[in-house]
DNA sequence: CTGTTAGCGCTTTCAC
DNA sequence: GTGAAAGCGCTAACAG
């Protein structure tokens, strides 16, 4: 593909009439170099379009690098975070040969203090880079100053906060995913068929993500308000008021049901238990319960957000930045995958 | 992540009481090693779970490696192949630092001779590995013997041929993708609504892929035969008999239309030109014309086969095998992506 | 400020 | 058969 041999640091040194060491110094702005030499070397680097051999680089660079990832703990067995962890592990393996270690620090997503502590802990590890799920905006705004001061590059994943100097954000466009769900509804339902949105969570606390999905969904559905209804309940209510809910659905059935989070399998089971009719049930995330329900026909579509890929890419990009200082694309949204029974095996 | 330092060839050498050179020899079965030493070293390699540092390896291994890819030419501007080429180029870039070059050789997919020639040409380049779209089965069956004899590993992509000693196959499951299309139809159409399949190609020649898609589609549709109709025509007929076709569709409309290949945009344009009604139009491939039609609403679903990823993965896996001799998964099917207007931007 | 040197983990050559 | 030594492209430590 390239007949000419790849040009290396030595070629540059020679052409510039300096030593390899000096070229290295200008390349990494390490130590002092006469301005004149610097510009000269830079010019030649540009001219020859020098690309470092990152393998030689990793081989030679002996200091261990450390990337620290800060994320909510998954003590509540949230499968989303389990998937995310797999991505972290994969990245760890990829980076082993690069002498780079990944540490994970978890916090309790309902306790701001816990988040602050996690960040402090991370800083004590003297990381070369941070990967953060920035759950608390004000904390981040404060700590970002420290990161900048200590020259620690950081990326966000899962959630995004603007204007604090992040290197990049890896996540999904929640509103857009709601629009995808709406499209699937519209293709399947007649214009006058009613749609129900069921918001289910542990304590009736709903993240920004979930609300954005709903906003996107309703906007794209493009249907009179009266045809969309939103139910909001805690998991506990859902369990205790089953009869009552079944009754409501029997009296007023909804051909389309949209559950804007992982809990959709609960709805699927419920509908089955009570033999309730539906035309289309759409939910989120490829967790085992949902996969099973999709395969059995209880769920019709799942939308996937690729948590594994998000953490993997976040870490790898940060690493690339650390070793090459090359700019990174600010926003990296992962695809909104549409999953049905027939293609699910390719996404697990 | 690993407190213990990574173990290397030297550690093994030391523990076995031999030199690094000898360890290398047993690792690569190169040169002669006393059987006794060999087994001893092997045992220690196992025991210590030695993993070579592939970067050090690439650095030290100076001979250039060559991977040759043999694919149909895209002189007819088939966009599928243009995408595939992008994957080849990406792989080329990734492998640059590994001192590995990718060459491409094209053939005329309608001429068996041309395919034979392409393979001969490839062999003259003394490749370290081959990536082949095995269009002609009998040719491959003959040439595979040569590959084996010369110890050249080869992988297939796009199409598959069994029992000739390929390392792996990268492609799609065509029948399964037809089933995905059927699922989308069934979700959107009432049971009694009719479905039309339109087969369009240059010379009414249809690849195995296309027929498999149709088979899968019809099987999964699970509908009385009478409700599915298949039209088969050349692009030329399609252009010259427009009025006639429009008439037929006006007299007997089909709510669902499935076009099992890239040409679906032609159908979309046609329907629009003649203001014909449809409920759902499903086709294949993310080429510009299809993307435009999807965005404007002329097409409802596209199924994507990720040609770029296929070539990229095929090359990278072959490379990994070449340098590590690690076994490769035999079949690597790419996901059957469901694309709608609202998520397409993440797949282009 | 800059050149020189040693060495990362592995492959390869050249002796013995 | 096998060990010792050189070197891949780069970084880092040490002299100047």
**Under 8 Å between Cβ of B307 and B83:** yes
Residues of B in contact with A55 (CB under 8 A): 55-56, 58-59, 97-98
Bases on strand C under 7 Å from any protein CB: 1-5, 7-13
Of A69, A166, A60, whose CA–CA distance to A125 is shortest?
Answer: A69
Local confidence band at A226 (pLDDT 50, 70, 90 cut-offs): low
Q: Are A158 and A68 within one domain?
A: yes
Residue B3 scores a pLDDT above 50: no
How high does pLDDT run on average in chain A?
91
Contact B176 A53 (CB under 8 A): no
Q: Are A96 and A30 within one domain?
A: no
SS (H, E, C) A273-306: HCCCCCCEEEEECCCHHHHHHHHHCCCCEEEECC
The pLDDT value given to residue A317: 93
Cα angle vertex A214, ends A210, A215, to 5°? 115
Of A146, A87, A140, whose CA–CA distance to A334 is shortest?
Answer: A87
Give the CA B33 to C1' C15 distance in Å. Answer: 17
The pLDDT value given to residue A75: 63
**Hey, is the C-beta of B300 within 8 angstroms of any chain A C-beta?**
yes
Is strand D less than 7 A from the beta carbon of B21? yes
Inter-axis angle of helices B174-188 and A174-188, nearest 10: 70
Local confidence band at A207 (pLDDT 50, 70, 90 cut-offs): confident
Residues of B in contact with A176 (CB under 8 A): 342-343
Q: Are B291 and B218 within one domain?
A: yes
Is strand C less than 7 A from the beta carbon of B49? no
Bases on strand D under 7 Å from any protein CB: 1-5, 7-13
Task: Give the percent of chain A with pLDDT over 90.
Answer: 71
* Full domain range(s) for residue A76: 64-172+307-334
B343 is a domain residue: no
Q: Which range in A9-23, A278-292, B62-76, B211-225 is most confidently predicted, on average pLDDT? A: A278-292
Q: Are A182 and A300 within one domain?
A: yes
Cα B147 from Cα B126, distance rounded (Å) = 11
- Among A216-220, B24-28, B177-181, B210-214, the minimum mean pLDDT is found in B24-28
Cα A280 from Cα A194, distance rounded (Å) = 11
Cα angle vertex B337, ends B335, B343, to 5°? 140
- Among A270-274, A291-295, B191-195, the minimum mean pLDDT is found in B191-195
Give the CA B36 to C1' C6 distance in Å. Answer: 36
Q: Are B204 and B321 within one domain?
A: no
* Residue bearing the bigger pLDDT, B32 or B88: B88
Q: Which two tokens stand for residue B322?
A: 């070449």
Cα A9 from Cα A26, distance rounded (Å) = 11
What CATH code is carried by the domain that includes residue A98?
A: 3.40.50.2300
B26 is a domain residue: yes
Q: Are B120 and B242 within one domain?
A: no
The pLDDT value given to residue A324: 76
| Cβ count within 10 A of residue B223 | 19
Task: Give the percent of chain A with pLDDT over 70.
Answer: 97
Residue A34 scores a pLDDT above 60: yes
Q: Are A164 and A218 within one domain?
A: no
Contact B220 A183 (CB under 8 A): no
Q: Are A205 and A220 within one domain?
A: yes
Residues of B in contact with A97 (CB under 8 A): 53-55
Cα A215 from Cα A230, distance rounded (Å) = 11
CA B74 vs. chain centroid, Å, equals 16
Cα B122 from Cα B131, distance rounded (Å) = 10
**Hey, is the C-beta of A97 within 8 angstroms of any chain B C-beta?**
yes
For B178, the closest chain A residue by CA position comes to A342
Strand partners, B157: B170
B124 is a domain residue: yes
How high does pLDDT run on average in chain B?
91
Residue A199 scores a pLDDT above 90: yes
**Hey, is the C-beta of A6 within 8 angstroms of any chain B C-beta?**
yes
Residue B327 scores a pLDDT above 80: no
- For the stretch A128-168, pLDDT in tens is 999 999 999 999 999 999 999 998 999 999 989 999 999 99
A342 is a domain residue: no
Cα B313 from Cα B91, distance rounded (Å) = 8
**Hey, is the C-beta of A219 within 8 angstroms of any chain B C-beta?**
no
The pLDDT value given to residue A305: 87
- B138-197 residues touching A, CB cutoff 8 A: 176-177, 179-180, 182-184, 187-188
Give the CA A88 to C1' D16 distance in Å. Answer: 46
The pLDDT value given to residue A2: 44
B236 CB-side CA count, 13 A: 4
β-pair type (B129-132, B65-72): parallel
**Hey, is the C-beta of A347 within 8 angstroms of any chain B C-beta?**
yes
Q: Are A16 and A72 within one domain?
A: no
**Hey, is the C-beta of A198 within 8 angstroms of any chain B C-beta?**
no
Residues of A in contact with B56 (CB under 8 A): 55, 59
Contact B176 A343 (CB under 8 A): yes
Give the CA A207 to C1' C7 distance in Å. Answer: 52
Is strand D less than 7 A from the beta carbon of A64? no
The pLDDT value given to residue B180: 98
- For the stretch B281-323, pLDDT in tens is 999 999 999 999 999 999 999 999 899 999 999 999 999 898 8
The pLDDT value given to residue B75: 62
Cα A157 from Cα A135, distance rounded (Å) = 10
Overall average pLDDT of the B335-339 stretch: 97
Strand partners, B170: B157, B332
Q: Which of A55, A176, A177 sits opposite B55 (nearest CB)?
A: A55
Cα A236 from Cα A344, distance rounded (Å) = 30
Is strand D less than 7 A from the beta carbon of A60? yes
Q: Which of A92, A98, A176 sits opposite B1 (nearest CB)?
A: A92
Residue B1 scores a pLDDT above 50: no
Contact B346 A335 (CB under 8 A): yes
Residues of A in contact with B59 (CB under 8 A): 53, 55-56, 59
B335 CA: distance to closest CA in chain A (Å): 5
Among A7, A55, A104, A178, which would you mutate to test the B interface (most chain B Cβ atoms within 10 Å of its Cβ)? A55
Overall average pLDDT of the A305-326 stretch: 90
**Hey, is the C-beta of B317 within 8 angstroms of any chain A C-beta?**
no
A347 is a domain residue: no
Residue B76 scores a pLDDT above 80: no
Q: Are A278 and A315 within one domain?
A: no
Per the structure, how many domains does chain B have?
Answer: 3
What CATH code is carried by the domain that includes residue B39?
A: 1.10.260.40
Query: Measuring from the CA of residue B33 to each C1', which nucleotide is nearest?
Result: D1
Query: Measuring from the CA of residue B13 to each C1', which nucleotide is nearest?
Result: D3
**Under 8 Å between Cβ of A41 and A18:** yes
Residues of B in contact with A104 (CB under 8 A): none
Maximum CA extent, chain A: 86
Cα B292 from Cα B299, distance rounded (Å) = 9
In the 18-77 segment of chain A, residues within 7 Å (Cβ) of strand C are 18-22, 25, 31-38, 56, 59-60, 62
Of A311, A300, A302, A314, whose CA–CA distance to A348 is shortest?
Answer: A302
Residues of B in contact with A103 (CB under 8 A): 1
A346 is a domain residue: no
Strand partners, A231: A198
Task: Give the percent of chain B with pLDDT over 70.
Answer: 97
The pLDDT value given to residue A3: 44
- For the stretch B142-192, pLDDT in tens is 999 999 999 899 999 998 999 999 999 999 999 999 999 999 999 999 888
DSSP sequence for B275-318: T---SEEEEE---HHHHHHHHHTS-SEEEE--HHHHHHHHHHHH
Q: Are A276 and A178 within one domain?
A: yes
Secondary structure tally for chain A: helices H, strands E: 14, 12
Residues of B in contact with A56 (CB under 8 A): 55, 59
Overall average pLDDT of the A198-209 stretch: 86
Residue B121 scores a pLDDT above 60: yes
Overall average pLDDT of the A262-276 stretch: 96
Is strand C less than 7 A from the beta carbon of B48? no
Q: Are B134 and B193 within one domain?
A: no
């Amino acid at each position: 593909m390239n007949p000419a041999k790849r040009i290396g640091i030595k070629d540059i040194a020679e052409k510039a009439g300096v030593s390899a060491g000096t070229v290295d110094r200008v390349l990494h702005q390490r130590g002092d170099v006469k301005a004149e030499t610097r510009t000269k070397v830079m010019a030649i680097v540009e001219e020859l379009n020098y690309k470092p051999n990152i393998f030689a680089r990793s081989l030679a660079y002996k200091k261990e690098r450390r990337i620290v990832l800060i994320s909510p703990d998954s003590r509540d067995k949230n499968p989303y975070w389990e998937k995310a962890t797999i991505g972290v592990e994969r990245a760890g393996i990829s980076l082993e040969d690069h002498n780079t270690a990944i540490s994970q620090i978890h916090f309790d997503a309902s306790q701001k203090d816990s988040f602050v502590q996690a960040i402090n802990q991370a800083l004590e590890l003297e990381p070369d880079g941070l990967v953060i799920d920035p759950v608390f905006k004000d904390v981040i705004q404060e700590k970002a100053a420290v990161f900048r001061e200590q020259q620690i590059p950081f990326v966000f994943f899962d959630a995004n906060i603007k204007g604090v100097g992040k290197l990049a954000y890896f996540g999904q466009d929640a509103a857009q995913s709601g629009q995808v769900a709406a499209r699937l509804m519209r293709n399947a339902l007649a214009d006058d068929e009613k749609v129900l949105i069921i918001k289910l969570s542990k304590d009736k606390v709903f993240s920004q993500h979930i609300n954005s999905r709903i906003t996107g969904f309703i906007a794209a559905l493009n249907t009179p308000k009266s045809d969309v209804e939103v139910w909001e309940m805690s998991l506990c209510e859902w369990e205790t008021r089953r009869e009552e809910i079944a009754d409501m659905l029997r009296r007023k059935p909804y051909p389309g049901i949209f559950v804007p989070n992982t809990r959709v399998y609960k709805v699927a089971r419920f509908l089955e238990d009570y033999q309730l009719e539906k035309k289309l049930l759409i939910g989120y995330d490829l967790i085992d319960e949902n996969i099973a329900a999709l395969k059995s026909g209880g769920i019709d579509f799942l939308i996937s957000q690729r948590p594994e890929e998000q953490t993997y890419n976040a870490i790898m990009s940060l690493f690339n930045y650390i070793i090459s200082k090359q700019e990174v694309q600010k926003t990296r949204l992962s695809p909104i995958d549409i999953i049905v029974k027939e293609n699910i095996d390719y996404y697990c």
